[in-house]
Chain A
Amino acid sequence: MGFRSEEMCLAQLFLQSGSAYDCISELGEMGLVEFRDLNPSVSSFQRRFVSEIKRCEEMERILGYLLREIRKANLAVPEAEIPPVAPAPKNVLEIMEQLQRLEVELSEVAKNKEKLQRNLLELTEYTHMLRITHTFMHSRSRHEALGPQYEEFPSLETESVTGCTSMQRLGAKLGFISGLIQRVKVEAFERMLWRVCKGYTILSYAEVDESLADLDTGEINKNVVFLISFWGDQIGQKVQKICDCYHCHLYPHPETDEERADVMDSLRTRIHDLQNVLHRTEDYLKQVLHKASESAHSWVLQVKKMKAIYHILNLCSFDVTNKCLIAEVWCPVSDLANLRRTLEEGSRKGDATVPSFVNRIPSSDTPPTLLRSNKFTSGFQSIVEAYGVGDYREASPAPYTIITFPFLFAVMFGDLGHGSVMTLFALWMVLTEKDHKRRRPGNQVWTTFFDGRYIILMMGLFSIYTGLIYNDCFSKSLNIFGSAWSVKAMFTKQEWTNETLQTNALLTLDPNVSGVFSGPYPLGIDPIWNMAVNRLTFLNSYKMKMSVIIGVIHMSFGVVLSVFNHLHFRQKFKIYLLFLPELLFLLCLFGYLVFMIFYKWLAFSVRDSQLAPSILIHFINMFLMQESATTPLYPGQIGLQVFLVVVALLSVPVLLFGRPLYLYWLHHGGKSLGVHRVCLCSCGYERVRRVSEEDLSPSVVHDEEEGLSDSGGPREFDFGDVFLHQAIHTIEYCLGCVSNTASYLRLWALSLAHAQLSEVLWAMVMRLGLRMSSRLGVLFLVPVFSVFALLTISILLVMEGLSAFLHALRLHWVEFQNKFYSGTGVKFAPFDFSLLPSVFEQDGLL
């Protein structure tokens, strides 16, 4: 990846009609260029290749149907080894035919299968019904007295052969209606029957054990077999209507037992046959789908590529002779040779008589921004671009972000233990990245974490380093080098006695007593501070000063980076009128603060620590230009401070008026400027000639005062507009310096929060397990540790990690990047088949 974005050029491609398709196919495989739309006023239905695109969409529709059927049959779609290229137009018809044939076959088979299943269901229901009404008849015949209606009739035990026709002999026309109804409707059905027929019907019902699927709705319900006996035709009709109303499936009720047995036999054989046929149909369907699934993936890719190529062809314009397609593309200058070679390849494949060629044309439009990146830098690139894609040829903050972002994160997160857990997690993701890339699971959260695996790895490594500096590992300090503080010395020097121990709750180790403090700890904070009551007081002072120092350094670096932009865009005046006042303002005020911090650290030792003054008071007094009551830090301090304040205050009007006045002077010029103007114009002409090789033009968004206009004459210069712009910039910068420096104090705040959370977790969870002194204490320690680990991961790693990530990102986006980065560019989006999304993948079908 580069320091700034790549140089781009506008090129015209002259593609011969015959080989245009192949050339664009080759370009799509390589992903070199971005096409521009040459027919913006034409609607998508009036474009040239609309019928081809319609054909592609038809094929996609059939493919979608095919994939859904394959998914229903639970078959896997194997991926092709080598992704196929877009098919030549002459092969397209063949694919189309195959797909259409498949569609017809599949729909036929599916229809047949449904019909067969419906039949099977009916026969099954009929069987159940017969079986269950059989038990009704028999159980009914066992009951002598079933109510007043049956008293007149003789018992049916001896006449079971003749069955119910004996009823007719008695002149009563007993009719039966039998069928199945859904269980949920049975009570309502019964009540309706009773109300309508008023006791002239008898309903008996029993539940079917097997739940049957309702083919219309596809649900699986419990059904109930019912048998209604009634007499009278009118009642019969009413009952029929009610049954229709409740969507019952009615089947003819057999008169005699023999008939019933015959029907059941025939049903059994028919069911058996049907099941056989259904099995065969399903097998056949599976076979067809299996065969189709082998080529399904490559068809999908081919259709996708073809459709994309036709879209691009629609963007091109035809020249007068209609033999040649003209396309305008943005191409990186370094890739022009590749582009030529690809076009030659495409022409060769398309058997063109005249090869296609490239012609570079000058342009005044701003080209898109391209920054090449590899798998390591792409993560950092994307977090910079989330703020804004850089302007064309602007210095990119991304290379520095690789180091500064994990570092600022680690300052807020610094814990050795948590850092190492994070590093191991990231390492696992990095080492198994090939597997994960292949599998491509759909979970959004996981994809986000996986794409940022290198960022997480860097953050973890830097956190281990800052954990060593803060000497914090799961809230405990590590004593690697031996503490520099000695308690024994307080006793040997007779400062403390046994009496002191007994009468005081808190004791203070005095470093002025010899032997107590033997020099600074080699790396990081001394481990004794972990046990000190005034630990936070000490660490707060250290961390706050460190945050301000890091902040001022980071911001100055940002201001310095703007020099590179000014130099590149040949705007040297900006260095004197923008960069210098900005830097002076920042350094005279806050650079001096940093200097005072370092001076106080170095100049005051343990002996005179009582006399060390408050830096903040001195800083405030500097602005008020007051004679401070305290003694000066160093001789000549008052004079130096006055000088610095004056320089800083003077740089504000320079920043405010410098650029607008300079540009006003440029455009309107004084009498001495005649020569200058000619000089400027000739420079302008020279520049125009070379403009096709230069990459000047951008920042025109901000600067309309570029003295190098194409027409050679001075452009309209609006002083008010420029001045307002500059005033806003000045106020933003000066106030921003103060607020941004304070904003860096979040480095202190978050690291304090993290350390305290970590300590609380240890004290409230782990300590409970460790302090158990009974025998059972061991067993208690095991679940306590699991809880500790779970809470560490969820609260300290995930929550605090995300929080520190967000704050570090904010510090980069706002405090660092607003010093030099404008981020208002357009990203280069090359025509590349691998970058095109697939409709089927989004639906989860592939």
Chain B
Amino acid sequence: MPSLLFCGPKLAACGIVLSIWGVIMLSMLGIFFSAKSAVLIEDVPFTEEDIRDDKNPPQTIYGLYNQVGINCFIAASIYVGVGALSLCQVRLNKRQEYMVT
């Protein structure tokens, strides 16, 4: 079976750090978007039509907020996957180091 190792110890460690940061920050962003935080208004992709043609304000904007929030949560879960992958790589690297010396 070919070796599943494709990155060195440093890259794997960076991967773990990045994924932990990504999970925490993206899930917090998701929570804040779901809570319709006003500070994040610039990050929501609304247009003039959304505001003008809104039958039941501010539900369109709220809907957009929820969408972005869900996006963030999905990205956070992808980072969980990346983190697991990096963890595997770190373990494999440690094992290889063990066996050589």
User: B7 an interface residue at 8 Å Cβ cutoff?
Assistant: no
Contacts of A777 in B (CB 8 A): 71
| A531 and B39 in contact, given A770-B71, A773-B67, A781-B71 (Cβ under 8 angstroms) | yes
User: B22 an interface residue at 8 Å Cβ cutoff?
Assistant: yes
Contacts of A770 in B (CB 8 A): 29, 43-45, 68, 71-72
Query: Would A785 and B39 count as touching, CB distance under 8 A?
Result: no
Query: Would A476 and B75 count as touching, CB distance under 8 A?
Result: no
User: A155 an interface residue at 8 Å Cβ cutoff?
Assistant: no
| A531 and B38 in contact, given A778-B75, A782-B78, A782-B79 (Cβ under 8 angstroms) | yes
Of A527, A767, A773, which contacts B39 at CB under 8 A?
A527
Q: A residues 511-539 with Cβ under 8 Å of B? A: 527, 530-531
User: B5 an interface residue at 8 Å Cβ cutoff?
Assistant: no
Closest chain B residue to A528 by CB distance? B38
User: A479 an interface residue at 8 Å Cβ cutoff?
Assistant: yes
Give the interface residue-count category, chain A.
Answer: 20 to 34
User: B84 an interface residue at 8 Å Cβ cutoff?
Assistant: no
Give the interface residue-count category, chain B.
Answer: 20 to 34
B62-91 toward A: CB 8 Å interface, digit per residue (1/0)? 001001100110110011001000000000
Query: Would B71 and A785 count as touching, CB distance under 8 A?
Result: no
Query: Would A785 and B41 count as touching, CB distance under 8 A?
Result: no
Contacts of B22 in A (CB 8 A): 782, 785-786, 789
Contacts of B67 in A (CB 8 A): 773
Within the assembled complex, what's the spacing in Å between the Cα atoms of A457 and B3?
Answer: 40
Within the assembled complex, what's the spacing in Å between the Cα atoms of A168 and B43?
Answer: 97
| A530 and B39 in contact, given A777-B71, A782-B75, A785-B75 (Cβ under 8 angstroms) | yes
| A778 and B40 in contact, given A772-B45, A786-B22 (Cβ under 8 angstroms) | no
Within the assembled complex, what's the spacing in Å between the Cα atoms of A508 and B40?
Answer: 20
Q: A residues 774-831 with Cβ under 8 Å of B? A: 777-779, 781-782, 785-786, 789
Query: Would B45 and A771 count as touching, CB distance under 8 A?
Result: yes
User: A298 an interface residue at 8 Å Cβ cutoff?
Assistant: no
* Shortest Cβ gap from A483 to chain B (Å): 8
Contacts of B44 in A (CB 8 A): 770-771
Query: Would B18 and A786 count as touching, CB distance under 8 A?
Result: yes
Closest chain B residue to A786 by CB distance? B18
User: A477 an interface residue at 8 Å Cβ cutoff?
Assistant: yes
Q: A residues 403-436 with Cβ under 8 Å of B? A: 421
Within the assembled complex, what's the spacing in Å between the Cα atoms of A767 and B44?
Answer: 8
* Shortest Cβ gap from B27 to chain A (Å): 12
User: B96 an interface residue at 8 Å Cβ cutoff?
Assistant: no
| A785 and B38 in contact, given A770-B68, A777-B71 (Cβ under 8 angstroms) | no
12 contacts between A and B (CB under 8 A): A474-B25, A476-B40, A479-B37, A479-B38, A777-B71, A778-B74, A781-B72, A782-B79, A782-B82, A786-B18, A786-B22, A789-B22
Contacts of A782 in B (CB 8 A): 22, 75, 78-79, 82
User: B12 an interface residue at 8 Å Cβ cutoff?
Assistant: no
Contacts of A786 in B (CB 8 A): 18, 22
Query: Would B38 and A789 count as touching, CB distance under 8 A?
Result: no
Q: B residues 22-56 with Cβ under 8 Å of A? A: 22, 25-26, 29, 37-45
Query: Would B40 and A773 count as touching, CB distance under 8 A?
Result: no
Within the assembled complex, what's the spacing in Å between the Cα atoms of A479 and B36?
Answer: 12
Contacts of B64 in A (CB 8 A): 773
Known: A531-B41, A771-B43, A773-B64. 15 other contacts (CB 8 A): A476-B39, A477-B39, A479-B38, A770-B44, A770-B45, A777-B71, A779-B78, A781-B72, A782-B22, A782-B78, A782-B79, A782-B82, A785-B75, A785-B79, A786-B18
Contacts of A766 in B (CB 8 A): 43
* Shortest Cβ gap from A535 to chain B (Å): 12
Contacts of A421 in B (CB 8 A): 21
